Amino acid sequence: MSYEVSVDTVGHYLDVSLLYEASETLREPILLKMPVWAPGYYLIIDYPKNLTDFQAMNVDGTFLLWEKVEKNGWKIYPSSSSFVVKYRVFADARSVAECRVNEKIAFVPTNGVLMYEEGQKEHGVDVTFILPNDWKHISTGMKEVRIAGKAATYHANDFDELYDSPVLMGNQYVEKFEFQGKQYELALECPEGLEESTFREDIRKIMGAATDMMKDIPYEKYCFILLGAGGGGLEHRNSMACYTSGSFKFESEHSYRSFMNFIAHEYFHLYNVKDIRPIELGPFDYDREVFTPMLWVAEGFTVYYEGILMRRAGLSSPDDFLTFISDYIKTIETQEGHKRMSLRQSSYDIWLNFFNFGKNGKDVRISYYDKGPILGLLMDIEIRRMTNNKQSLDDVMRLLYNRYYKELNRGYTEEEFWDACKEVAGRPLELMRRYVDTTEEIDYATCLKYAGLSLNRENWQIVRLEEVTPLQESIRKSILNE
């Protein structure tokens, strides 16, 4: 299967052509399918709603019979060993999971544009993107295999890799560099203020802190796709796609630090969720929701580690980190929802609540983005307490990465996660599991005391205890990187 994708900047369309070639005459119908959601974006988007003008034909141009058989399935009745499919995709959404085309730019999340053959997602695929005459750049984390004029061809080893590789086309600012032996690309829709900022240096500090922790870099090339003014970001194994404030000019140091927290979050996802992943999250079923009880780790721990990486990179202070975590505690503890929804349940219910802004939301539910980082801190402290500060949550993450991603090439189950925690800590984290599985109130006084910390319930701010034991001081200094 090989694709060509060209751009209609006036009508806001992507024109798609697929060449399907087999080694012998095809005697059975071929079912082509388009995903209905994007991994990491837990919402049914129904990409086929944007598709129009579908047609199938032999390579000589004679038309083939086809029929729509599902909301995202097209059955083709071939008469030879190869055929061509053409269709158009409307692209006018401002989302990190949906396509956008205008006179200057085309943002292409490939899972919303390209089809796979039912039961054949493991096959390799080539995609050629054709630039309009006045456009200059194509930016993606995919492997480039050929350039010919305004056309560039990329290869993905399978459709999971293809769908994990967004593409930015246009006249974006492009800067390529090498760091720690890997290749990188900055692709910025709105680079204003970049030269005056420390962004280039700071992303290297974040990547260096992540590498120091995980002891491995799981890619050869990584692309930072930073779009214009908007909201949201989406992680990928070889890239990130994030909306920004529209420039690199920030009104305050706090606003810049918040932006860099966002970048650190999406970057650390290449480890936690792309490689260290709940077993339900890959290989993917692109036809329907995929439920897992472990998004509080995949997302919540990533929030915790965005704060940790910022601190280790020297981009925030110990007090900044304590305020960072305190804000999540305040959010959880001042809303009734934490009494009605467990952290574990919030993972299942994200498919109902991703963009659910119902008026009763704060009263009946919580987000793993808010309570997950709290558990990250408490579990980190608990493991350090149990091991005399010789092991930490870092060791759990490295164990999961090396065992399940690198050795077994699969995700972890819920029980395997807790077994990994037990292996690192030396005994089960029973209290922490209750805090995840139930709505039991968290004993902050006891849990934080082990790290020489306390929670001021008047303003929900974590503060340092003045009198601490050597172990408490050691744990506190380790977490705060003091």
Q: Are 343 and 300 in contact (CB under 8 A)?
A: yes
Q: What is the pTM of this model?
A: 0.96
- Phi, psi (rounded to 5 degrees) for 260: -70, -30
Percentage with pLDDT > 70 across the chain = 100
pLDDT tens string 213-244: 999 999 999 999 999 999 999 999 999 999 99
So what's the pLDDT on residue 238? 96
Q: Are 271 and 401 in contact (CB under 8 A)?
A: yes
pLDDT tens string 457-467: 999 999 999 99
Q: Are 3 and 117 in contact (CB under 8 A)?
A: no
- Alpha-carbon distance 35 to 465, whole Å? 52
Average pLDDT on 387-399 reads: 98
pLDDT band at 151 (very low <50, low <70, confident <90, very high): very high
Neighbours of 350 (CB within 10 A): 21
Average pLDDT on 188-217 reads: 98
Those residues whose C-beta lies under 8 Å from the C-beta of residue 143, and which sit 6 or more positions away, are 154, 155, 156, 221
So what's the pLDDT on residue 262? 98
Q: Are 112 and 100 in contact (CB under 8 A)?
A: no
Q: Are 365 and 433 in contact (CB under 8 A)?
A: no
Of 116, 132, 21, which is closest to residue 72 (Cα–Cα)? 116
- Alpha-carbon distance 149 to 168, whole Å? 17
The CATH code belonging to domain 271-480 is: 1.10.390.10
pLDDT tens string 275-289: 999 999 989 999 999
pLDDT tens string 62-78: 999 999 999 999 999 99
So what's the pLDDT on residue 418? 98
Q: Is 149 exposed, middle or buried (0-12, 13-18, 19+ CB in 10 A)?
A: exposed
So what's the pLDDT on residue 134? 95
End-to-end CA, the chain:
54
pLDDT band at 333 (very low <50, low <70, confident <90, very high): very high
Average pLDDT on 199-220 reads: 98
Average pLDDT on 45-65 reads: 97
Percentage with pLDDT > 90 across the chain = 98
- Alpha-carbon distance 291 to 347, whole Å? 8
The CATH code belonging to domain 172-244 is: 3.30.2010.30
* Average predicted confidence (pLDDT) for the chain: 97
The CATH code belonging to domain 2-171 is: 2.60.40.3650
Neighbours of 78 (CB within 10 A): 20
Q: Please, what sign has the CA dihedral across residues 152, 153, 159, 160?
A: negative
So what's the pLDDT on residue 454? 98
Those residues whose C-beta lies under 8 Å from the C-beta of residue 203, and which sit 6 or more positions away, are 224, 263, 267
So what's the pLDDT on residue 160? 96
Domain regions of the chain by residue span: 2-171, 172-244, 271-480
pLDDT band at 319 (very low <50, low <70, confident <90, very high): very high
